Amino acid sequence: MKIKVLGCSGAEFPGHNPPGFLIDGKILLDAGTIGSYLSEDAQWKIRHILISHAHLDHIKGIPFLADNIIIKNKKHNVTVMGIAPVLKTLKNSLLNNKIWPDFTMIPNVEKAVIKFLEVKPGRQIEINGYKIMAYRVNHSVPATGYIIQDKRGKRLLYTGDTGPTHAIWKEAGRAKVDRAIIEVSFPNKMEALAVATGHLTPRLLKKELDKIKILPDKILITHPKPQHLKTIRSEIKKLGILNVRILKDGEVITV
C-alpha cells in the first residue's frame, strides 16, 4: 500500500493543507485536499473517496473534483463513502444547489458524477480488493475512523478527527495494524478545548495508545494546528514512544 499525503493539517496555510490521503492512487481517505495538489490525470484516477466526517476541512475537495469531472465531459463518476449522517450533510449542506450544484444528479441520477455509498460502523465492505471497516469515533459531529486492509493483508488505521475513543483501538488490538494515522490537533495546554471539540493532545494520545493491545508498527500524526506545531512536536517527542512522528504534506508512506 502506498499512501500519498496530499494534506495532513488541522488548518490551511501554504505548505499546510487539510487532510487528504491517497491510497495507491485510487482511494482517497478524506477530501480536504484534492485539486490544489493533484494533476488532472491524478484526479481522474480517484474512484472512491472515504469520508471520516462532514467538517469542511475533510470534504472541501469534493465539489471542485466534481466540477473538474463534468468540465472534462466524460462518462466518469466517483463514489463518496461515509456513514449515513455524513452523506446526508453532504447532500443537504454542500451539494444542495445553493453552496454548489448537486452533482449527485448531474448530468442525471443514473450517470451522476458523484455517487454515494453508505458505510455502516462495524460492517466490512470490499472495494477493489481492499477490505474497509468504519468505526465510530468521538468528535463534535458524527464521525468514523477506518481500518483498511489491502490484498497483501497490510492494515492501515486512520482515526479522522477524534477525542478519546474506544471501538477503533479495540479492533487495532485484535490484529496488528501496520500503520496508524492518528490525529493530534492541540498542544497539552489546550486539553480542555481538545476534549470539548473532540480532538487529541500529545498527553491524550499517550492515553489512547495505552488502550491498544499491540501497538502499530508506525504511528503517524495528522491534523496538528500549524500555529502550535513546534510545541506539539516537542510534546510528542517527550512521550518517549518509539516510531511516532508528525506527517508532512507531500510525503509518501509505503506499507
- For helices 202-209 and 229-238, give the axis angle rounded to 10 degrees: 40
Pair 5, 253: CB distance under 8 Å: yes
Interface size with Zn ion, residues (CB under 5 A): 3
Closest CA to 136 of 163, 117, 115: 163
Q: Which of 57, 208 has the CB closer to Zn ion?
A: 57
Q: Which of 8, 219 has the CB closer to Zn ion?
A: 8
As measured in angstroms, the least distance from the Cβ of 27 to Zn ion is 19
Q: Which residues lie below 8 Å from residue 212, measured CB to CB, with a gap of 6+?
A: 169, 172, 173
Q: Which of 161, 171 has the CB closer to Zn ion?
A: 161
Closest CA to 27 of 125, 95, 140: 125
As measured in angstroms, the least distance from the Cβ of 124 to Zn ion is 24
How far lies 91's CA from each of 121, 135, 178, in Å?
Answer: 20, 22, 34
Q: Which of 19, 35 has the CB closer to Zn ion?
A: 19
Sign of CA dihedral 138, 140, 142, 130: negative
Is residue 107 reached through a cis peptide bond, with omega within 30 degrees of 0 on the bond before it?
yes
* Stretch binding Zn ion (CB under 5 A), from 40-48, 64-72, 157-165, 207-215: 157-165
Number of CB atoms found within 10 A of residue 245's CB: 13
The contact pattern for Zn ion, residues 116-155, with x = CB under 5 A and - = no contact, is ----------------------------------------
As measured in angstroms, the least distance from the Cβ of 103 to Zn ion is 22
CA distance 48 to 140: 25
As measured in angstroms, the least distance from the Cβ of 213 to Zn ion is 27
4-63 positions binding Zn ion, by CB under 5 A: 55, 57
As measured in angstroms, the least distance from the Cβ of 234 to Zn ion is 22
By the rule CB under 5 A, 161 interacts with Zn ion: yes
Q: Which of 18, 202 has the CB closer to Zn ion?
A: 18
Pair 249, 22: CB distance under 8 Å: no
By the rule CB under 5 A, 225 interacts with Zn ion: no
Q: Which of 133, 137 has the CB closer to Zn ion?
A: 137
* Stretch binding Zn ion (CB under 5 A), from 72-80, 118-126, 156-164, 167-175: 156-164
Binding residues for Zn ion, per CB under 5 A?
A: 55, 57, 161
